[in-house]
Amino acid sequence: MTTRTRLVAGLNSLIQRGGRPIMFQYYSSVIGSVWDDDVTLSQSGADLWTSGIVLPLNNSRGSEDGFLVEQGKIRNDDIKLFTRGDLLFTGSELQVRIQLGSAQPEHYSLIGGVTRTEVGGGPVYKRAFIRRITTPGSLV
């Protein structure tokens, strides 16, 4: 058993114990003509249900999360999401809306980039900062 295989199995065990149901809704975006900045979004494909680990930010002094808050890249009320490394989060013309839970769902959007951790040439997990969407029907 390779190191990567053991790490993926460990992540899957953590997700089974403390994970939450997560739905990814993918949207493709098309920008209008050269003179028109209007962006049109349409849902692309079916919703993807999976599980992941949701954690609050670590705002302690000297932490990476605290540093990003100080820089204004994330806010104190944003959260971290850890999922399998093979999930598709972004693309050149792709946007995603994330739903946490199924009974009383909350919708989130991605903030900044997604960090993909690889070992032995393959993905182990992805970490993303997400922000709650307060406007119904919006992606931001």
- Going residue by residue through the chain (140 aa), what tens digit of pLDDT does each one get? 788 889 989 988 998 898 899 998 888 877 766 666 676 777 787 888 999 999 999 887 788 888 888 888 999 999 999 998 888 876 656 688 888 987 778 889 888 778 888 888 888 889 999 999 887 666 66
CATH 3.30.700.30 fits 3-132, yes or no: no
**Residue 29 in tokens:** 């975006």
Report the predicted TM-score, pTM, of the whole model to 2 decimal places: 0.82
Contact, 85 vs 9, CB < 8 A?
Answer: no
> What integer pLDDT is reported at residue 81 of this predicted model?
92
- Please report which residue ranges of 28-97 form alpha helices under DSSP H: 64-71
Write down the domain spans for the chain: 3-132
Give the pLDDT of residue 93: 62
